[in-house]
Structure 1
């Protein structure tokens, strides 16, 4: 996020068929007669069987019925659609089997009073014509979302673990509403921007970037605006949401109980989410 990303194969082998094809070349006529007598087959039968094989085709390359192909195509298309869109969201990159969307972040556990404030903010934006969806897992991103091949995950995580083992714990504060969008402008976010502890976060980003460079992956944004996204909507609604945030939303924030803002983000560990797996990195 920037501040302005079956085919089922059937195969069969039959050694009896192979031997049968080679009978005329590899065995004497006496052996052939004994073999024919044993299996009750004649030369004519042999020719008929060969003709049938030529009409049917290679038994190892039997085509799948259209009904089967369509069945699996439907499953594949449905999987692609389900993963590409969740609540109207659009993927920043094409889903491919074996690719894992991954990013590094600081988790944020809000105070008990924060959900009430968030509900007030979402309600206020409705009066301005925008329907926001609350974020489910609050976090502060320290990397872009990158694509990891499955066999990269373990070495990537090990590199991060080694690099971050000497990074100290810290506390940062976030206050003031800001509007953000992803690079493709397919989603707009309402976030709370970090106001204290920026330098320490940059140090963590530098450590993470070294691992990104090691794997040929994009590093974090230049001059980043560290923030916690709290709600989002589909599409490019930056200007409209910005106008609301500077008036209605700021009024809501000012009327909240003392202690809700600034958000106090105490980080003792970093996390990396890769696909459906989450890896934790304790800080020193």
Structure 2
């Protein structure tokens, strides 16, 4: 986890990285130089385009290794991501970015989640639990690399005087993304809605400054618990009451997910920025 701006790996090499790359290119091209008897490149007659095409040497492997193409193909392969499909094409320099409040679950939460997934599994719907749990305060947007520093600095300045608070959730709800590629079982917020709207207003202001999409109107704040591929909304809703009974009939009374809102986070690509709220 990073606090503040951290330069990307593309910028960390500095002059040493450029010198290393130049040395590699020099080493590779040396192999393909043809020398005459006098030690200088032999003079050659001009060739026609056809002759050039036939005699053109292959690009040295050491040069090809400097510009791998496999990364982009793997990024688009949904089989490597549990069947998930990107909502926008992966491009170099584009960073998927969103703002959220983290949720740190306790043991009771995982016990309940296991029960919920077990029941849904008997209905021929296989849900995959989230890798991490959070409450979104923005849509996922595309941020250019050179925007990261001013974007996060603007967000930090806007959040400087926001106070900490607590919100809770205890009502299950089914959600589907706009592209209808994934369905989620979530737990909707029941208290703290006003404070969350205040935070969204601040985040939206920064989004607008960078001409990015703002959050949904009249949002249903929630913590996603698990997901499945495709639009399974109607099927999931059939079993929602049965699942809610597990939440309400928890061993020690109705389960309430409590989220301590002590800091916002912004994830952009593989970087995470933290914005602590005032006590």
Check whether TM > 0.5.
yes
> Aligned pair 1:249/2:252, yes or no?
no
Which residue of 1 is the match for residue 17 of structure 2? Answer: none
Q: Distance in 1 between matches of 2:245 and 2:255?
A: 13
- Structure 1 unpaired stretches of 5+: 1-8, 18-38
C-alpha displacement at 1:78, in angstroms? Answer: 3.8
Whose radius of gyration is greater, 1 or 2?
1
Aligned residues: 245
SS in 2 for 1:153: helix
Which residue of 2 is the match for residue 191 of structure 1? Answer: 186
C-alpha displacement at 1:50, in angstroms? Answer: 3.1
Tell me the C-alpha RMSD between the 2 structures. 3.4
Which residue of 1 is the match for residue 229 of structure 2? Answer: 234
SS in 2 for 1:185: coil
Structure 1 residue corresponding to 2:129, chosen from 104, 121, 134? 134
Which residue of 2 is the match for residue 50 of structure 1? Answer: 44
- Structure 2 unpaired stretches of 5+: 1-23
Deviations 1:205-226 (A, max 9, x none): 0000000000000000000000
The answer (yes or no) to whether the contact 1:84–1:90 under 8 Å persists in 2 is no
C-alpha displacement at 1:128, in angstroms? Answer: 1.3
Q: Distance in 2 between matches of 1:110 and 1:70?
A: 43
> Aligned pair 1:271/2:275, yes or no?
no
SS in 1 for 2:138: coil
Against the structure 1 CA distance between its residues 206 and 71, is the aligned structure 2 distance closer, same or farther, given a 3 Å change threshold? closer
Deviations 1:181-226 (A, max 9, x none): 1110100000000001111100000000000000000000000000
C-alpha displacement at 1:263, in angstroms? Answer: 1.0
Structure 2 residue corresponding to 1:125, chosen from 97, 112, 120? 120
C-alpha displacement at 1:129, in angstroms? Answer: 1.5
Which residue of 1 is the match for residue 109 of structure 2? Answer: 114
Against the structure 1 CA distance between its residues 70 and 270, is the aligned structure 2 distance closer, same or farther, given a 3 Å change threshold? closer
The answer (yes or no) to whether the contact 1:156–1:211 under 8 Å persists in 2 is yes
Q: Distance in 2 between matches of 1:136 and 1:40?
A: 66
The answer (yes or no) to whether the contact 2:171–2:187 under 8 Å persists in 1 is yes
Q: Distance in 1 between matches of 2:67 and 2:210?
A: 35
Which residue of 1 is the match for residue 90 of structure 2? Answer: 95
> Aligned pair 1:165/2:160, yes or no?
yes
- 4+ residue runs of structure 1 moved beyond 4 angstroms? 9-14, 52-58, 68-74, 82-85
Which residue of 2 is the match for residue 104 of structure 1? Answer: 99
TM-score, length basis structure 2: 0.77
Structure 2 residue corresponding to 1:215, chosen from 210, 216, 235? 210
